[in-house]
């Protein structure tokens, strides 16, 4: 069975669900909780829950949060290959969720800076395996070199590859041209609408996806409540709507989509089935607090 190898950020999420508009420099009533997170780790969790033989490669601190992060992954069946250090804390992220379910995130990379190309070991570089990496790994200067080298290593060994750009605002900070050059040649690119717009300069998602075919063989645009769209180098365009659900927390919905999509695609290489699987995972994710599947 082919393995899905996911590399990137693993976090502890501190979620604050507020019951009114967040007003600067004053109070906002809310409910605060803690969950496992990290875009790449979330995708690994959803992929494993969807049936993929999933390996996650990332970095944690030698602290309680790191112990919890490892357990949260292994409990869902993920083979967690986590490098650790006592000199840095496990990454964390404050997630502010407004009454509509939309989220704003404040990440602290922490031990995610530990990643290196050496962590992608020979046993993971087997024919038929797929390599996925989160964009956050490129967008943080301390892990950028590792991200570039990890993708190159996976390509050199013949693995198919994919990237989730992760953050429109951080792409702008890092530089659009730079980001496009770092991820050029990937097999599947998973931007959301905001990321696709930033990477191309157009808010027409069909045109944006077509433009992104210059740097990726297949582009899958995550459209939130509107579903998802896929375009391929062969000119095929697929678009599926998402079911109507009551969203309470959008945190991790895109990560869930990626995990669900890749799990099905790796098994079937059926794009339509993969889109359906991704949308199903994303739709399930938004219906509860937190970014991981509830099993």
Rounded to the nearest 10°, the torsion over CA 77, 79, 84, 89 is -30
Do the strands 216-222 and 186-189 form a parallel or antiparallel pair, or are they unpaired?
A: parallel
Query: Whole-number mean pLDDT of the chain?
Result: 96
Selection from 161, 226, 171 nearest residue 196 by Cα: 171
Torsion of the alpha carbons at 220, 222, 225 and 227, rounded to the nearest 10: 0
Summarize pLDDT for 225-281 with one digit per residue, the tens.
Answer: 999 999 999 889 999 999 999 999 999 999 999 999 999 999 999 999 999 999 999
pLDDT given at position 59 = 98
Assess whether pLDDT exceeds 80 at residue 213: yes
- Predicted pLDDT of residue 125: 98
Domains assigned to the chain: 3-22+31-285 (3.40.1190.20)
Q: Examine the pLDDT at 130 and tell me if it is beyond 90.
A: yes
Structure tokens at 244: 């109507």
pLDDT at 244: 97
pLDDT, tens digit (0-9, with 9 covering 90-100), for 187-208:
999 999 999 999 999 999 999 9
Counting residues of the chain whose pLDDT is more than 90, the rounded percentage is 92
- Give the pLDDT confidence score for residue 28 in this predicted structure: 87
The pLDDT of residue 23 is above 90: no
User: Does 22 score more than 90 pLDDT?
Assistant: no
Question: What is the pLDDT at residue 235?
Answer: 85
């Amino acid at each position: 069975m082919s393995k899905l190898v996911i590399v990137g950020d693993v976090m502890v999420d501190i979620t604050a669900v507020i019951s009114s508009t967040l007003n600067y420099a004053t109070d906002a009533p809310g409910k605060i909780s803690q969950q496992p997170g990290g875009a790449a780790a979330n995708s690994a969790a959803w992929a494993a829950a969807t049936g993929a033989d999933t390996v996650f490669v990332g970095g944690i601190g030698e602290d309680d949060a790191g112990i919890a992060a490892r357990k949260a992954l292994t409990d869902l069946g993920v083979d967690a290959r986590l490098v650790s250090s006592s000199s840095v804390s496990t990454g964390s992220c404050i997630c502010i969720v407004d009454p509509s379910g939309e989220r704003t995130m404040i990440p602290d990379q922490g031990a995610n800076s530990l990643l290196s190309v050496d962590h992608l070991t020979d046993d993971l570089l087997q024919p038929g395996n797929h390599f996925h990496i989160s964009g956050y790994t490129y967008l943080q200067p301390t892990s950028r070199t590792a991200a570039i080298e990890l993708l190159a290593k996976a390509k050199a060994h013949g693995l198919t590859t994919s990237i989730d750009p992760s953050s429109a605002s951080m792409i702008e900070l890092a530089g659009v041209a730079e980001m496009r050059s770092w991820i050029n040649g990937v097999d599947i690119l998973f931007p959301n609408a905001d990321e696709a717009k930033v990477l191309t300069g157009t808010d027409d998602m069909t045109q944006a996806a077509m433009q992104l075919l210059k740097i990726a063989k297949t582009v899958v645009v995550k459209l939130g409540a509107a579903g998802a769209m896929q375009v391929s180098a062969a000119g095929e365009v697929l678009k599926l709507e998402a079911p109507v659900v009551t969203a309470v927390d959008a945190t991790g919905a895109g990560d869930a989509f990626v995990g669900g999509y890749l799990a099905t695609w790796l098994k079937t290489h059926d794009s339509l089935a993969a889109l359906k699987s991704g949308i199903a995972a994303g739709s399930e994710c938004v219906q509860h607090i937190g970014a991981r599947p509830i099993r």
